[in-house]
Every structure is written in C-alpha cells, then in structure tokens.
Structure 1
Amino acid sequence: MSRGLRALGFCLLVAACGGNYSAPRDLDNACAIVSERPRYHRAMKRTERKWGVPVYVQMATFYQESKFIGDARTPYRFVLDVIPMGRQSSAYGYAQALDATWDEYRDEEGGRGAKRDRIEDATDFMGWYMDKSYEALGISKADARAQYLAYHEGRTGYARGSYNAKPWLLRVSSQVAARSDTYRDQLLACGKL
C-alpha cells in the first residue's frame, strides 16, 4: 500500500472516530432518538440511576438547550449589526452549561477530564444540577417545568422568582414540560422507559 493511501486511510479513520455533533433525525420522537443514538439512552439511564432525574426530563431539557447538538454554542453579539463582539454567553455543548457552572461540576463531581460535548458527561452534569435544585429548592426531579426554570435562571434566580418577569421563559418552560410528557409517553409505548 502506498504511503499516500495509508495517510488517507488514517485521516478517514480519525475523522470517523470524531464526535457526532449533528442532531438526531426525528427530534419529536423519543423512541427514534434512542434508537438512532443508543449511546444517548445509555448515558441518560445511567444518570437516572445515579441522580434520579427521569430520562424524559433530561431529553426535554437537551432538546430545548441544544437540540441534542454536542457542540452547540450561543449566537454572536454584534455592534451596529456587523461587528462581532463575542458570544451571548459561555454556554456550550449538549447541556449548554456555562463555564463557571461547568467548572463547579468538574470540581465537585465530574473530574478534570469531563467535557461538555460528550453526552455521558453532559447527562451527568444535568443530573447533578437538577439534584442540587431538588436539595436546595425542593423541586421534584420529575417536574420538567420547574427544573428547567431553575436550570435556566440558576437556583438563586429561581428562588427570587426572576422568571416571573420573563413571559417568554414561562412559555418555553411550559413547552419543555409538554415535551417531557410526550417523550415519557413515547418511551413507555416503545418499552424504553
């Protein structure tokens, strides 16, 4: 085999081992998602066993935060609509975890090697965060709406009720709850719950 052909083969192998950051094909069907990406399902089931956060609550939150795209980032901000001034926030990955919150998670739970664009780490992060919301605020781990509000606003913001001044966020949190219910029913129907 020629040297060039071996190099090409090696490059293709490395590319094939890279992360799959595209969204699943059918985001409205939980059974299709876990069938297409069984690794996601295994990671979420592991998180459910460890932290008690149901798979369907995790899935609805991932849908809202990143549409299951591992390298998702917030959009850029622009001055005068043309000069980029950086991203809206440091949120990144499946869970759209902010830098400071991710660092807190890694210090407490995930270890220095945890990555926001690795589904296993993102689900564990979400379980850790929602477990802390349960401990600090008494929010049921199955309450997708309240958990999402605490996830979006932070526990301090949730405790202050900052979401009440954001009608758009109340609407989004209701959509997360509805999607969670839909995903739960779908997973029950296909035997993946």
Structure 2
Amino acid sequence: MKRHFLRRFLYVSFFLTTMILFLPACSSAVPSRPKDLCAIFTENSDWYDDARDIFSKRKVPINIVMAFIYHESGYRHDAKPPMRWFLFIPYGRGSSAYGYPQAQDEVWNDYTESDGGFWSSRSNFKDSLDFISWYILRTKDKNGVPVTDVYNQYLNYHEGWQGYKKGTWKKNSSLKKLASNVSRTAKNYGNQLRNCDI
C-alpha cells in the first residue's frame, strides 16, 4: 500500500514539475521590432501560422488583429493593467484585463461560452487572435462598423459595444488619439505584410 502511494506521489510530482518547467516555454518572447510585422513573424514563425489559421477561419485581416495586440499588450502574454496605489498601499488593478488581447473577464467568458471553447486562454497567442477577430465581427453585427474601419472598431473594443453606442469616447481625446494610432499601425502592418518574405 505504501509503495503504491509512493509511486503515485512520484508520478504526480514529476507531472507537476514538468508542467511548471514547460509552461514558460509556451509563451514567446516579446518581438524585438514590434513596429515591423515582417520582423515579428520572422522571429515567431508560429505566430504567422496562427495568424493565417485564424484569418482562414474568421476572414478578419491579419494586420488589423496584430495592430490591436500591439497596442493592447505590446505582445506580452501576461500583460495586466498597472496596480493602483493609495500613498504606498496597493489596492488592486483598474480592471480584469489580461494577456495578449487585454480582454476583461466578462467579455472573455462570453467568447469562451459562445465560440472560443473552455480551454481558451488570454495568454495563448492563437486564442487571442481568435478572440479579437470574434470581437471585431460582433462589432460589425452589433454596431454596424465595417471590419476595416479600424478607428471605430478599436473604439468599440476599448469602450465596449454599449459604451460606443452611448458615445463615451467622444470627449476622450487621449482615446481618440490611441484609436488613430491603432489605425495607423494596422495600415503600416498591411503595407509591410504585402512585402514580407516569410
């Protein structure tokens, strides 16, 4: 009996140790040249394969989805909003946003329950591409924003569908500037992607 327990304990310990060592290897390093889409895909060839797969599935242009990820997380798989402080005491983060897409818990759960699947993860690059593509298509359906209207698509992504309808962004000059930057990045990425030697 003791031998059986010891064997099981060793198997479980080995499995957990392997998982702890393996999981960090699953996340790719932040690209060294994040403004160059060709360089990003050269550094992370798996990302290019993932992007093509999701484009085939959803038909949302790769350059747009990649621009969202760049401006949301800077390609960091574990990105979170900054901690808020009162004097020297931390009291939580601004939101539940997490991972490559900086998706908040509520909308991420909506995605996983309706289309993404139980095992989807915000720290998984392919799942994040799929989530953003899904969100962009939902924005088209809900608010009539064309997929290629990156400026208004990003305002929806940042403010949520109801926030966009209410116009919460109209007096937010920094958000409008950010949306313009995302649109510019998507355009630059699109030009680069046409000339990539991948």
**Is the shorter-chain TM-score for this pair beyond 0.5, marking a shared fold?**
yes
1:136-175 mapped onto 2 (5 Å cutoff): 136-175=142-181
- What is the CA-CA distance between 1:145 and the residue it aligns to? 1.1
Structure 2 gaps of 5+ residues are: 1-13
The equivalent position to 2:75 in structure 1, one of 68, 75, 81, is: 68
The equivalent position to 1:28 in structure 2, one of 30, 35, 55, is: 35
Structure 1 gaps of 5+ residues are: 1-6
Residues in 1 aligned to 2:178 and 2:162: alpha-carbon distance in whole angstroms:
19
1:79-98 mapped onto 2 (5 Å cutoff): 79-80=86-87, 82-98=88-104
- What is the CA-CA distance between 1:20 and the residue it aligns to? 2.3
Q: Which residue of 2 aligns with 1:3?
A: none
Which has the greater radius of gyration? 2
* TM-score under structure 1 length normalisation: 0.88
Report Cα offsets for 1:131-160 as digits up to 9, x if no partner.
100111111112211111100000111112
Q: Which residue of 2 aligns with 1:187?
A: 193
The equivalent position to 1:125 in structure 2, one of 128, 131, 135, is: 131
Residues in 2 aligned to 1:16 and 1:87: alpha-carbon distance in whole angstroms:
25
Q: Is the 8 A contact 2:27 2:124 kept in 1?
A: no
Q: Is the 8 A contact 1:52 1:141 kept in 2?
A: no
Across the two proteins, how many residue pairs are aligned to each other? 183
Report Cα offsets for 1:84-127 as digits up to 9, x if no partner.
00111100000000011111111001111111100111111111
2:56 aligned with 1:55: no
Counterpart residue type for residue 86 of structure 2 = V
**Percent of aligned positions that are identical:** 33
Residues in 1 aligned to 2:85 and 2:132: alpha-carbon distance in whole angstroms:
30
